Amino acid sequence: MTDVAEMVGADVRRPEDMTVLVVDDEPDVAFYLGSVLEDAGLNVVFAHDGDQALDAIRRQQPDLISLDLVMPRKSGIRVLAELRRNPKWARIPVVIVTAHARDPEVRREVGEHADVLSGSVITGPSMYLEKPVTPQKYLRGICDILGIEVEVDQSGLSIDSHAELRDEAKNLLDGVDAATLEDVLGRLRQ
């Protein structure tokens, strides 16, 4: 890769040349994701629903879109569908960041738009991240797609040391069953 990059020469991409559109209806999440990217030197534009996202893309075409799926006004799935219909936007890489991956409703919708997702998630230059997402994983994923290298500031990302614990919690949540939940609810009641 290095050899190829040297051969291309001036084409090496720098973070400050890149603009990422962060779309999330939760201001805290948008702020968090945006902060991670800004701290790494990237330019960030925000949108809080599907309509705002499309407006932002029309104003200035971003190099990458970080997209939540369930939002008011226009869901992420529909934003994605509109992107794929427009030849100018079809090749913009998209990173989907969602907590609703296992929600039956979202699954159904994803099923209906399978063609949209198959173009972006599986074969396209995009990826699919499930919340909660760590700063490292998020930054690494986006930089890989954009083909840029950034210094990962270890001190700013110190909480990464809890990654294993967090992954364990996430796996537990994914595997929770009705009996366990009832047990937990019972304890909460007491």
Partner 1 sequence: MNAPTWREGLRAQLIDEIPSGVMVIDSSLNVVDHNHAIDCCFGEARGRKCYSLTKGRDEPCDDCHALGVFRDGKQRTVEQKGIDVLGRKVHYLVSLTPIPTGADEPEFVAAITTDLTAAKQLQGEYQTLFEKVPCFVALINRDHRVVKGNELFRTTFGEPMGEECYRLFKHRREPCPDCPADRTFDDGESHMSQHIGVNREGKPVPYLVFTTPISRGDEKVSHVMEMALDMTELRDLEERLSQANVLRHALVENSLDAIVVFDDRQRIQLVNRAAEKLLGRSRDQMIGRRIPRRVAPKELDGVLSGKKERVVLHETFVTGEAGDRIPVRLAGFVLKPGGRFAGSALITQDLREIKQLEHEKLEAERLAAVGQTVAGLAHGIKNILTGLEGGMYVTSSGLKKGDQGRVRQGWEMLERNMGRISDLTRSLLAFSRGEAIECQEIRPSEIAREVAELFRDSAAQYGIDVVAEVDEVEPAWMDPEALHSCLANLISNAIDACQISDEPDLKVRVRLREEGSDLLFEVIDTGCGMDYEIKQKVFTSFFTTKGRGGTGLGLLLTRKIAQQHGGTVNLSSEPGRGTTFELRFPRHRLPKPNAN
Residues in touch with partner 1 (CB under 8 A)? 25-29, 31-33, 35-36, 39, 70-73, 75, 78, 99-100, 102-105, 109, 130-135, 153, 155-159, 166, 169-170, 173-174, 176-178, 181-182, 185, 188-189
**Sequence letter at residue 140:** R
Smaller CB separation from partner 1, 88 or 162: 162
Long-range contacts of 51-55 (CB under 8 A, 24+ apart): 52/23, 53/21, 53/23, 53/79, 54/79, 54/82
How far apart, in whole angstroms, are the C-alpha atoms of residue 95 and residue 77?
Answer: 12
By the 10 Å C-beta count (0-12 exposed, 13-18 middle, 19+ buried), 47 is classed as buried
User: Considering the complex, what minimum distance in angstroms separates the CB of residue 188 from partner 1?
Assistant: 6
User: Considering the complex, what minimum distance in angstroms separates the CB of residue 52 from partner 1?
Assistant: 12
Question: 106 — phi, psi (to 5°)?
Answer: -65, -40
User: Considering the complex, what minimum distance in angstroms separates the CB of residue 10 from partner 1?
Assistant: 32
Smaller CB separation from partner 1, 123 or 190: 190
User: Considering the complex, what minimum distance in angstroms separates the CB of residue 88 from partner 1?
Assistant: 25
User: Considering the complex, what minimum distance in angstroms separates the CB of residue 35 from partner 1?
Assistant: 5
How far apart, in whole angstroms, are the C-alpha atoms of residue 36 and residue 160?
Answer: 13
Alpha-carbon distances, residue 172 vs 28, 97, 105, 115, 155 (angstroms): 24, 20, 22, 31, 28
DSSP code for 118 = I
- List the structure tokens of 101: 């991956």
